[in-house]
Amino acid sequence: MSAMPRRRFLAAATATLASSKALHRASAAPMPPVSELSGRAPLFVSTWPFGKPANERALLTIQSGGGALDAVEHGINLTEADPSNPSVGLAGIPNSEGVVQLDACIMSGPGHKAGAVAAVEGFRHPISIARRVMETTKHVFLVGEGAMEFARQHDFERGPKVSPGQREAWRKWKDAEARKARPKADKGHDTIAMVALMPDGNLYGGCSTSGRGYKLPGRVGDSPIIGSGLYVDNEVGAAGATGIGENVMRFCGSFLVVEFMRQGLHPQDACIEAIRRIARLDPQGFDLSINFVALDRKGRFGAAGTGSGFEYAVTSPDSSRVLQSPGLTSASTGPVGGNQK
C-alpha cells in the first residue's frame, strides 16, 4: 500500500466495504443508449456491481490527493479485502488442492509500464505486489514461489491461504469428486478489472482475481496477462476482461478491444466486435462466458458480454452507477459473483 495515509485509507475502505456487500445484490440501471456512454475524468470503469465501491474508493483517492496508480490500487485493494467476495482476494474459491492462488496485473499508460503476479498464495493484495514489480524491478511478471519470495521481501500483508467457509465447500467438492459424484469442477468466478482515465488524458488499469474455482494448481488465467485480462494504450484507450480466462487469453482479448477502438469504434462497439471475432474463431461459438469493459481517451466507455446480464460500474465526479451491458446471446451470464453455467 502506498502514498495515502493508512488511517485515512482504512476509514474510507471500511465505509465503502459496507456498501460493497449491499452491491453484491444491487440491480443495475437500464442500459443507456451508446450516445450517453461517456463521462468526465477522473473516470473509473470496473467489472461487476462490486466494481462500484472499488471505483468510489479510487475516486476518493484522487480527491484526497493521491495519484492515478494509487487510485487503481486502492480501489482494487477494497475488492481484494472483501470477505464476501468469492472470486477476488483470499476469500476466493481455492484451487483443487484447497489453496487460493491469486493473480493480478496493473498498467500505466504513461511509459506503457506493466507489472503482474500469478499463483500467489497467502498474500492479501496481489495488485499491490504487481505494482511493486512494475515500479521496483526490471521485470513485468513474477509467478509462484518467486512472486511470493518477492512479496515476503517487501513485507506485503499476509493472510490465510483459504477462508474457513471456502475450505468447507472445497472439502465437500473433494469428497464428491472422490465418490465420482461428478461435482461441477468449474465453479463460477469473476474478476475485478478496472480501467481509469485521468483529467490529463492519461489512462491506467488493474485487474485482480482468485481465478477459476477448483482450478489445477498453477493454472493461470487471463487476468494477470497483459493484453488478455487488461490492456492500456495511452494513445487509444484501455480494456479489461472478466469470465473464463481460457476463452480470453487465447485471443489476447483486451488487446483486441483496444485495437478495435484504435480503428475508431466506440468502446462499447469495440467490446461487441471483440466478442464477435472470438466467437467466430472459437468452436464453442458464443458459449464462452466472457465479458469486457472498455474506456477511451475521450471518456467514452462501454461493455459487452457473451451472455445477457453482465453488469459494470462507472464512476466519475458527477455520478456512480451500475449499468447493464449488451449481451450477445440470451444465455444468462449467471448470478453476480459468478459466470456459472
Shorter beta-carbon distance to ligand GLY: residue 207 or 270: 207
Partner residues linked to 239 by β-bridges:
231, 294
The residue among 162 and 244 lying less far from ligand GLY, judged by its C-beta, is 244
Give 75 or 243: the residue with its C-beta nearer to ligand GLY.
243
Least separation, in Å, of the C-beta of 142 and ligand GLY?
Answer: 17
Q: What is the rounded distance in angstroms from the CA atom of residue 153 to the CA atom of residue 137?
A: 13
Provide the minimum distance between the beta carbon of 264 and ligand GLY in the complex, in angstroms, as a whole number.
Answer: 28
* Active-site pick, 191, 209, 315, 333: 191
Nearer residue to ligand GLY within complex by CB, 142 or 192:
192
Cell digits of residue 249: 487469453
Residues near ligand GLY, by CB under 6 A: 191, 209, 211-212, 221-223, 242-245
Nearer to ligand GLY, 211 or 334 (CB): 211
54 versus 60: smaller Cβ distance to ligand GLY: 54
Q: How far is the CB of 243 from ligand GLY (least distance, A)?
A: 6
Structural element, H or E, at residue 294: strand 290-296
The DSSP string of 36-72 is G-B-PSSEEEEESTTHHHHHHHHHHHHHTT--HHHHH
Residue 7 corresponds to which amino acid? R
Residue type, 122: G
Dihedral angle at the C-alpha atoms of 18, 23, 25, 29, nearest 10 degrees? 150
Tell me how far, at minimum, the Cβ of 242 lies from ligand GLY, in Å.
6
Cell of 222: 487471463
Note if 191 is an active site residue. Answer: yes
Sequence length of the chain is 341
How far apart (Å, rounded) are the C-alpha atoms in residues 265 and 255?
14
Least Å from the CB of residue 221 to ligand GLY = 2
Smallest separation (angstroms) from ligand GLY to the CB of 298: 27
The closest of 237, 247, 202, 240 to 224, measured between CA atoms, is 240
Distance of alpha carbon 196 from alpha carbon 216, whole angstroms:
32
Pair type for strands 113-120 and 141-143: parallel
DSSP run (H or E) holding 237 = strand 237-243
Task: Determine which helix (DSSP H) or strand (DSSP E) holds 124, and give its type and residue range.
Answer: none
Residues designated as active site: 191
